């Protein structure tokens, strides 16, 4: 096995699972997080060891846990960004003066456009052009058990990955495939963007269970209880809008439950049973407030992006618009107008669909 | 007190409460319902007596309960239609060959346009021009206890009423005020239409509690449990759209919770506590399916009508549109396109707001 140096940026469950998995495979792993979140990692600074339990087990010794981004990133082969979409721009700004052209940034998950947002921010700030790749979904299903223990429930079985430009995808994949065997090449970052199921599922389940969210104190099961026949019907109709959008961009996307089946989450492929009964979806407690990232992140940074793409491509998305409208009302914000991660912040503003395709394939418009 | 002959058309709780109340006040009351619903009344045919309990108590002897509409309506001073909106057109068709110009039809509740729909159907079928009036909400809060017993929880304290044309409102009101003291004159049937709170409240609470509806088996409280802060926030934003629509038509509408307060339902006037804690809203079990009339009637026959009015008046109604879209998705129908009770079926198609106002005031457009 190649010995690789990998910087993991982020401090949540996903970052810890990835760090532990790669360290246990022999990589030199370093961790860093944004100053406002770093306290979650301070206990690992003195003794940088993570315990992995679940499908991957062991004591993972990390090379370094530090709040100094430059030390963590220096000479790393891969810089893995494992955070909410809302943090991507800030991390990209912090990386701009540090990252070199021969490094690779992997945004895991891309959360519908992470690679594009990184590229746009870096492009504005540095001449270095590292390869930037994103995954369609997080590579690990996991949760934090304690300060030092992360439970890895599953290595996700089918994770689409694309680099920007797409011509670099195979090179990135060749380096990572042995470490993360679930990775599969996507045509480009438009495909990874459109293979993110979160904006299809999370806001819909939240809104159609608003009363439950706010009455529950968090004592409810997001999938087993949140999915009922009408909830599944709305998710299915919204997913059909996503698939139509993909078709307009030349992509034959799998329906979300089919994707969940292939990823190992579920044992059915219909929209109700896949989520309500899928083993990978069991026992995941639901939020206790509508200010949860299932709304703030998945509408602001992904559903709104799909809506903007729909407009450019001439694909009607009335259910997406309705969900975004109700989410905006609940949050007392206008997510559509804010366009927190709209086409402009992804560097895709004012492009035709054809120009977008050239951009993601070649890294430039024309 | 004047002795009056009153035909009550309908067989549900509201019809029974009105019939019992008026009979106990000395009116000669007759009851009829559509053939498909008449079985609910058959037990009253032989022995036409209703027991009222609650705020009105007594044995109410009815003059007649019959499936023969002509017998029930002949020489009645008032024909009170107390049914779902979905039945109005069919009842109007049945009345067309029977009703005379000196009779008065009271659609109670109008459910946003009952008087207009009656007028349009009668206009197409008969030269007789009875006065048609509608209430903004049902005059009684009630429920059926058994075949012969109706519980009257409340005579509603503020029920807007208008006749078509509005110039007849005072005459109708003068005849009814002593029998139904909660009645208050509205400017016209546009005001009664816009004072119907059901399309503002029912579909929103249903959709934002979809999971609860479908998991509950009906074992949940529609108001106490259905109203949480975010549900109230969406109701409030939707109600602001209704109030803006009223303003465009020259009406200063009360916010819904203020109206509920004056009607006697609630003790607060904010959107959460008015409904969650209002004494008149306590103990009302919720539906167990999304096919309930809180969606099928209140979206199809009222919310969609408000949306069409909004378009004519240039008032944006994005939350109303979102609710209608999600309701359509859940019901696998397109309520907006169906326009089950849109401006066309109300005889208001292709009119400017000014022409509509003249029509409801004078009974003709120009």
A167 touches chain B (CB under 8 A): no
Task: Say yes or no to pLDDT of B1 above 50.
Answer: no
Q: Which two tokens stand for residue B49?
A: 């007596």
Q: Identify all chain B residues contacting A326, using CB atoms and an 8 Å cutoff.
A: 208, 234, 319, 322-323, 326
What chain B residue is nearest to A329 in terms of C-alpha separation? B234
A363 in any annotated domain: no
Measured between CB atoms, which of A230, A319, A329 is closest to B214? A230
A290 touches chain B (CB under 8 A): yes
Judge whether A212 and B286 are in contact, CB under 8 Å. no
Q: Identify all chain A residues contacting B212, using CB atoms and an 8 Å cutoff.
A: 209, 211-212
Cβ partners under 8 Å of residue B179, min gap 6: B4, B21, B22, B25, B27
Instruction: Say yes or no: B126 and B264 in one domain.
Output: no
Task: Say yes or no to pLDDT of B365 above 90.
Answer: no
Instruction: Say yes or no: B277 and B208 in one domain.
Output: yes
Task: Say yes or no to pLDDT of A244 above 50.
Answer: yes
Q: Which two tokens stand for residue B218?
A: 């009906």
Return the pLDDT at B363: 77
Instruction: Say yes or no: B132 and B224 in one domain.
Output: no
What tens digit of pLDDT does each residue of A62-101 get? 999 999 999 999 999 999 999 999 999 999 999 999 999 9
- Name the helix (H) or strand (E) containing A105: strand A104-107
B328 in any annotated domain: yes
Return the pLDDT at A286: 96
Most A CBs within 10 Å, among B200, B211, B217, B235, to test the A interface: B211
- Average pLDDT on B292-318 reads 97
In chain B, pLDDT over 90 holds for what percent of residues?
A: 96
| One-character DSSP codes across B19-43 | HHHHHHTT-EEEEE--GGGTHHHHH
B125 in any annotated domain: yes
Q: Which two tokens stand for residue A133?
A: 């790749």
Task: Say yes or no to pLDDT of B366 above 70.
Answer: no
Task: Say yes or no to pLDDT of A352 above 80.
Answer: yes
Measured between CB atoms, which of B211, B229, B321 is closest to A214? B229
pLDDT band at B3 (very low <50, low <70, confident <90, very high): low
Instruction: Say yes or no: A125 and A273 in one domain.
Output: no
Task: Say yes or no to pLDDT of A122 above 70.
Answer: yes
User: B266 to chain A, minimum CA–CA distance in Å?
Assistant: 20
Q: Identify all chain B residues contacting A225, using CB atoms and an 8 Å cutoff.
A: 211, 215
Q: Which residues of B are catalytic?
A: 202, 298
| Overall domain count for chain B | 2
What tens digit of pLDDT does each residue of B76-120 get? 999 999 999 999 999 999 999 999 999 999 999 999 999 999 999
Q: Identify all chain A residues contacting B234, using CB atoms and an 8 Å cutoff.
A: 210, 326, 329-330
| One-character DSSP codes across B300-355 | IIIIHHHHHHHHHHT---HHHHHHHHHHHHHHTS-HHHH-TTSTTTTT-TT--HHH
Instruction: Say yes or no: B177 and B261 in one domain.
Output: no
The residue behind tokens 């759209």 is B241
Angle B20-B24-B27 from CA coordinates, rounded to 5°: 90
CB distance B211–A229 less than 8 Å? no
Instruction: Say yes or no: B206 and B347 in one domain.
Output: yes
Instruction: Say yes or no: B39 and B122 in one domain.
Output: yes
B267 touches chain A (CB under 8 A): no
Return the pLDDT at A364: 72
The SS3 of residue A242 is helix
Judge whether B65 and B44 are in contact, CB under 8 Å. yes
User: B335 to chain A, minimum CA–CA distance in Å?
Assistant: 13
Sheet with B131-135: strands ordered across: B64-65, B28-32, B5-9, B78-81, B104-107, B131-135, B159-164, B183-185
- Average pLDDT on B41-66 reads 96
User: A320 to chain B, minimum CA–CA distance in Å?
Assistant: 9
Instruction: Say yes or no: B157 and B17 in one domain.
Output: yes
- Residue environment code for A130-141, b if the CB has 16+ CB neighbours within 10 A, otherwise e: bbbbbbbbbbbb
What tens digit of pLDDT does each residue of A143-189 get? 999 999 999 999 999 999 999 999 999 999 998 999 999 999 999 99
In chain B, pLDDT over 70 holds for what percent of residues?
A: 99
Task: Say yes or no to pLDDT of B201 above 80.
Answer: yes
CATH number, domain of A295, equals 1.10.1040.10
Q: Identify all chain B residues contacting A330, using CB atoms and an 8 Å cutoff.
A: 230, 233-234
What tens digit of pLDDT does each residue of B228-265 get? 999 999 999 999 999 999 999 999 999 999 999 999 99
| One-character DSSP codes across B57-100 | -EEEE-SEE-S-HHHHHTT-SEEEE-S-GGGHHHHHHHHTTT--
Q: Which of B163, B194, B225 is the last residue of a domain?
A: B194
- Average pLDDT on A130-149 reads 95
CB distance B318–A325 less than 8 Å? yes
CB distance A214–B230 less than 8 Å? yes
What chain A residue is nearest to B221 in terms of C-alpha separation? A211
Instruction: Say yes or no: A170 and A251 in one domain.
Output: no
Q: Identify all chain B residues contacting A212, using CB atoms and an 8 Å cutoff.
A: 209, 211-212
B112: left (phi over 0), alpha (psi -120 to 50) or beta: left
- Residue A83's alpha-carbon distances to A37, A78, A110, A156, in angstroms, are 11, 15, 9, 17
Judge whether B138 and B105 are in contact, CB under 8 Å. no
- Average pLDDT on A333-359 reads 95
Torsion of Cα atoms, A139 then A165 then A337 then B295, to 10°: -50
pLDDT band at A363 (very low <50, low <70, confident <90, very high): confident
Task: Say yes or no to pLDDT of A366 above 80.
Answer: no
A321 touches chain B (CB under 8 A): yes
B47 in any annotated domain: yes
Task: Say yes or no to pLDDT of B15 above 80.
Answer: yes
What chain A residue is nearest to B324 in terms of C-alpha separation? A322
What tens digit of pLDDT does each residue of B182-198 get? 999 999 999 999 999 99
Q: Which of B237, B201, B259, B206 is nearest to B317 (CA)?
A: B237
User: B279 to chain A, minimum CA–CA distance in Å?
Assistant: 20
What tens digit of pLDDT does each residue of A14-63 get? 999 999 999 999 999 999 999 999 999 999 999 999 999 999 999 999 99
The DSSP 8-state label assigned to residue A57 in this structure reads: -
What is the average pLDDT score of chain A? 95
What chain A residue is nearest to B228 in terms of C-alpha separation? A211
A344 in any annotated domain: yes
What is the average pLDDT score of chain B? 95
Judge whether A331 and B237 are in contact, CB under 8 Å. no
Q: Which two tokens stand for residue B247?
A: 């303003």
Q: Identify all chain A residues contacting B233, using CB atoms and an 8 Å cutoff.
A: 329-330, 332
Sign of CA dihedral B242, A324, A294, A279: positive
B111 touches chain A (CB under 8 A): no
**CA–CA distance, B209 with B202 (Å, rounded to integer):** 11
Return the pLDDT at A1: 44
Q: Which of A165, A194, A223 is the last residue of a domain?
A: A194
Q: Which of B194, B209, B242 is the last residue of a domain?
A: B194
CATH number, domain of B67, equals 3.40.50.720
Parent domain of B46: 5-194
The SS3 of residue A144 is strand
User: B220 to chain A, minimum CA–CA distance in Å?
Assistant: 11
CB distance B225–A215 less than 8 Å? yes
Instruction: Say yes or no: A46 and A34 in one domain.
Output: yes
Cis peptide before A109 (omega within 30 of 0): yes
pLDDT band at A296 (very low <50, low <70, confident <90, very high): very high
CB contacts < 8 A (A, B): 100
- Average pLDDT on A347-351 reads 94
Task: Say yes or no to pLDDT of A192 above 90.
Answer: yes
A286 touches chain B (CB under 8 A): no
B364 in any annotated domain: no
Instruction: Say yes or no: B233 and B293 in one domain.
Output: yes
**A91-96, long-range: CB < 8 A, 24+ apart:** A91/A9, A91/A34, A92/A117, A92/A118, A92/A121, A92/A122, A93/A121, A93/A125, A94/A34, A94/A69, A95/A69, A95/A122, A96/A121, A96/A122, A96/A125, A96/A126
B159 in any annotated domain: yes
Q: Which two tokens stand for residue A95?
A: 């990386």
Beta-bridge partner residues of B9: B32, B81
pLDDT band at A365 (very low <50, low <70, confident <90, very high): low
What chain A residue is nearest to B223 in terms of C-alpha separation? A211
Q: Identify all chain A residues contacting B325, using CB atoms and an 8 Å cutoff.
A: 318-319, 321-322
In chain A, pLDDT over 90 holds for what percent of residues?
A: 96
Q: Which residues of A are catalytic?
A: 202, 298
What ipTM was reported for this prediction?
Answer: 0.93
Instruction: Say yes or no: A186 and A217 in one domain.
Output: no
The SS3 of residue A112 is coil
**CA–CA distance, A350 with B264 (Å, rounded to integer):** 56
A364 in any annotated domain: no
């Amino acid at each position: 096995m190649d010995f690789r140096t990998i910087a993991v940026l982020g401090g949540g469950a996903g970052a810890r699972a990835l760090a532990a998995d790669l360290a246990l495979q022999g990589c030199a792993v370093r961790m860093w997080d944004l100053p406002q979140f770093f306290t979650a990692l301070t206990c690992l600074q003195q003794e940088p060891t993570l315990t992995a339990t679940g499908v991957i087990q062991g004591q993972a010794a990390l090379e370094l846990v530090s709040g100094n981004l430059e030390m963590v990133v220096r000479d790393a082969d891969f810089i893995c960004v494992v955070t909410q979409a809302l943090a991507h721009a800030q991390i990209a700004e912090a990386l701009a003066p540090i990252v070199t052209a021969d490094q690779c940034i992997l945004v895991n998950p891309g959360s519908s456009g992470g690679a594009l947002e990184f590229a746009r921010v870096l492009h504005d700030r540095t001449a270095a052009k590292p390869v930037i790749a994103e995954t369609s979904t997080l590579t690990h299903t996991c949760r934090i058990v304690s300060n030092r223990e992360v439970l890895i429930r599953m290595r996700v079985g089918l994770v689409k990955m694309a680099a920007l430009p797409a011509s670099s995808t195979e090179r990135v994949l060749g380096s990572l495939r042995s470490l993360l065997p679930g990775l599969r090449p996507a045509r480009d970052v438009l495909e990874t963007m459109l293979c993110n199921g979160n904006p299809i599922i999370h806001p819909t389940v939240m809104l159609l269970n608003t009363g439950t969210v706010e009455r529950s104190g968090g004592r409810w099961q997001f999938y087993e209880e949140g999915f009922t026949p009408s909830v599944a019907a709305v998710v299915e109709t919204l997913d059909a809008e996503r698939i139509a959008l993909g078709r307009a961009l030349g992509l034959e996307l799998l329906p979300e439950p089919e994707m969940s089946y292939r990823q190992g989450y579920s044992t059915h492929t219909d929209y109700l049973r896949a989520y309500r009964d899928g083993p990978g979806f069991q026992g995941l407690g639901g939020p206790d407030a509508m200010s949860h990232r299932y709304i703030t992140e998945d509408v602001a940074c992904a559903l709104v992006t799909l809506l903007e793409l729909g407009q450019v491509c001439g694909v009607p998305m009335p259910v997406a618009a309705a969900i975004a409208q109700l989410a905006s009302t609940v949050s007392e914000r206008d997510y559509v107008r804010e366009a927190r991660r709209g086409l402009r912040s992804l560097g895709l503003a004012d492009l035709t669909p054809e120009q977008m395709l050239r951009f993601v394939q070649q890294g430039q418009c024309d």
